[in-house]
Amino acid sequence: MSDPTAERIKDIVGGNDVVLFMKGVPAAPQCGFSAAVVQILSQLAVPFKSVDVLADQAIREGIKVYSDWPTIPQLYVKGEFVGGCDIVREMFQAGELGALLSEKGVAAAR
Amino acid sequence: MAMVQSEIERLIKDALPGAHVVVVDLAGDGDHFGARITSEAFRGKTRIQQHKMVYDALRGQMGGALHALALETSAPK
């Protein structure tokens, strides 16, 4: 897939410490799973860039190919795919997500 | 067309022989499922790898016919 979409995704994921591909925007998620991840990131007080896949059909399909992962939301930290809603939630509950963020040098706001 | 519970369970068990699989219809709408899967095949794998194995078992239905499947995967204790 040497198309412009893959390049765009690579730029977004590479250009931001924490990126969440989601349905809707953080203030108004359009899906419960996206909402759950937004809530977790908010609780961790970590700044993140969000990409609304509903507003961009090419990204919506392209991101699934990029990560070889079939669903949205998808969380990336420092260019690395962390997981979808279930994994993010499990990691958060186990304290692993906060640990990963500090390990990667992504400072929480507080 | 949505997938039924028994079909989800069967596809996972076919792909992961000996796995213990519990599928529940979370919202009672035939569209939002949860699955708890325990399989020896998960041992030593990351969560992403484990979930991918389940998605592979569902042969592309995930994100299509199957809208939502909350996963909890682990190797037997």
Chain B residues in contact with A64 (beta carbon < 8 A): 63
Domains of chain A: residue spans and CATH:
4-103 (3.40.30.10)
Q: Token pair 């979930």 is at which residue? A: B51
What is the amino acid identity at position B7? E
Over residues A67-93, the pLDDT tens digits come to: 999 999 999 999 999 999 999 999 999
The verdict on a CB contact (< 8 Å) between B47 and A87 is: yes
Over residues A38-62, the pLDDT tens digits come to: 999 999 999 999 999 999 999 999 9
Euclidean distance between CA atoms A109 and A82, whole angstroms? 20
**Annotated domain spans of chain B:** 5-74
Euclidean distance between CA atoms B1 and B65, whole angstroms? 6
The verdict on a CB contact (< 8 Å) between A68 and B52 is: yes
- The sheet carrying B32-38 orders its strands as B20-25, B32-38, B68-74
Q: For residues B53-66, give the mean pLDDT.
A: 84
Over residues A4-51, the pLDDT tens digits come to: 999 999 999 999 999 999 999 999 999 999 999 999 999 999 999 999
B1 touches chain A (CB under 8 A): no
Q: Please state which CATH class domain B5-74 belongs to.
A: alpha beta
Give residue A108's pLDDT.
61
- Spell A17-54 as b/e; 16+ CB within 10 A means b: bbbbbbbbebeebebebbbbbbebbeebebebebbbbe
Give residue B2's pLDDT.
57
**ipTM of the shown complex:** 0.72
pTM metric for this prediction? 0.85
Give residue B29's pLDDT.
80
Euclidean distance between CA atoms A41 and B13, whole angstroms? 34
